[in-house]
Amino acid sequence: MREGSATPLARATPEESIRTLPTTEGRVAREDALTTSTRTRAYSGKVWLFAERSGRLFVVALALVAAFAIDWLLVPTSYPVAAAYGVSLILAAYLLASPAMVAALGGVALLLSMTSNLLQAAPTAALAGNNAGLLAIGALAFLLARQRKITDATANENARLYGQARQHERELAILLDVSQTVSSTLELRPLLGVILDQLKTVVDYSAAAIYVGPDADEYRLHEYRGPLPREDVVGRGVSPEASRIIHAAIARAGPVIVENRADETPLMLAPGGSGKPLAPEAVGHGRAVLWLPIITRGAVIGALGVVHPQPGYYTERHGQLAMAFAQQVGSALENARLYEQAQGRAVLEERQRLARELHDSVSQVLYSIALNSASAAALRASDPERATALQNDVHELAGVGLAEMRALIFELRPESLEREGLVSALHKQADAVQARHAIAVRVSAVEEPEMPLAAKEALYRVAQEALQNLAKHAQAQSVELALEQIGSDVILRIKDDGRGFDADRSFPGHLGLHSMRERMAGVGGTLHIQSSLGRGTCIEARLPLAATVEHALHS
């Protein structure tokens, strides 16, 4: 292919790429097997080569000794020829390591055979013995040279396969690390940076960029590695039409290579025939260019591009490796999108819940205050006693509204729990329930327990959910809320005198109990429920302090 031409690689859908790399365990197992097999072949090749060399050397030595003995018996005065055999034996032992020299040794033996013909005046038995020995030596030398070439080629191939296996093993280990990182965090910016850093260890580059979009028909740069200051390029937009190579990668849903972007190739020319090469400024420091689409759920959501200063540097193998990293980028972006959606949904649900709480509690209280205040003002002259009673009701309602607002503030601002403590939060929650639902709530609590904020918040949410459930479903007249510490366990207990329920069957509020169990399990605690029809309910949340410390360390 001429320099500067674009090389579109085979289109690879996510499903096909997944089939290429099925599972991490399977890939590593296969690569381990390949590495072990290749090591075995390389080792056995070396052993066989040593044995083969030793055996061939023995055969050569035996042939030389036999020829030397025949010559000595038949022509005892032919010392020059005998010396030639001795020299040949020494050369065979010394030069066997080189195929070329072994072949040369065969030529020397043949030359000696022809020389012996010239030295002898007439055919003799000694001459025949000399010629036979020398010809045998020459034939063996050429055979050994040929066999040595085959042996060396086999050993070199084994070494090449072993190197490939080690390289594949390294690449798969890096992909495994990236995959684990993608699945372990939802922080997109550092995650994309890690992916680009790991990509450089297997696909070298002078600059790399991740574009995501389209946003208003424009792709924006999300992460960058290269000579330019990151803050100067991240966030910039580049239209796919402004860089034909990006557009080609996105349109083909597969890698695209430009061997030398300095050439004005069709993929690098600006639309409209202006003839000026265009490329995103973030990857403007290189000659060889490789762009890949970022695909998730069958849709292209961006592009990953790398450049290298050496023209023609990127190959099909680089495209395959980089495509695997582009898939990890797609997974990271999809995870971040889903997490953002979940957060938005959770915020919306919380807003709706708070709106219901405000409507059912604070707004009703404020309406009652306004109504009683107006009635008291109207009755002040005609019925002073009634007006005074209404004013007292206004004071009580104001207290109820204040308790309601304090409880809602604790729900909206978790830092209030850290600042004022769990015991204070439980008292305020109890006051709100008592004021809102006219249920007598008695609170008994030890001093503020020493535990992480996450553990305190879990206990507070359990108490909140339990009090809300009993207010809605239990028909209770009184509630006991206790916070105590027994040994190394902190225990929260909510006990009511309501109608109770059958814990083995579906009942109103069972989803809330499931949520409480999940909260406690999340901080290393447990939740126990005791209830029966007509005998009330007791909910006990137990949290070992050792478990809270371990959870804090993990967090």
At residue 490, the pLDDT reads: 93
Residue 341: is it exposed, middle or buried by C-beta count within 10 angstroms (0-12/13-18/19+)?
A: exposed
**Range 216-231 burial, b when 16+ CB lie within 10 A, else e:** eeebbbbbbbbebeee
Task: Evaluate whether 43 touches 154 at the Cβ level (below 8 Å).
Answer: no
Hey, where are the domains in the chain? 19-180, 186-342, 439-555
At residue 504, the pLDDT reads: 67
At residue 135, the pLDDT reads: 57
The topology (CATH level 3) of 186-342 is: Beta-Lactamase (3.30.450)
Q: What is the CA radius of gyration of the chain?
A: 43
At residue 54, the pLDDT reads: 54
Nearest-angstrom CA–CA distance, 113 and 532: 114
Q: Which CATH class for the 439-555 domain? A: alpha beta
At residue 411, the pLDDT reads: 64
At residue 161, the pLDDT reads: 78
* Closest C-alpha among 266, 265, 323 to residue 290: 323
Task: Evaluate whether 78 touches 88 at the Cβ level (below 8 Å).
Answer: no
Nearest-angstrom CA–CA distance, 359 and 378: 27
User: What would the pLDDT profile of 460-488 be if each residue is shown by its tens digit?
Assistant: 889 988 888 888 888 889 999 999 998 88
Cα 15–chain centre separation: 18
At residue 384, the pLDDT reads: 86
At residue 508, the pLDDT reads: 52
Q: Residue 543 belongs to what H/E stretch?
A: strand 537-544
Cα 237–chain centre separation: 27
Whether the bond between 214 and the residue before it is cis, its omega within 30 degrees of 0, is: yes
Nearest-angstrom CA–CA distance, 453 and 417: 8
Task: Evaluate whether 476 touches 496 at the Cβ level (below 8 Å).
Answer: yes
Helix (H, G, I), strand (E, B) or coil at 212: strand
* Residues of the chain falling short of pLDDT 50: 1-51, 74-77, 79, 83, 86, 90, 93-95, 97, 241-242, 264-282, 549, 552-555
Nearest-angstrom CA–CA distance, 466 and 457: 14
pTM of the model: 0.43
At residue 53, the pLDDT reads: 52
Domains 186-342 and 439-555 share a fold: no
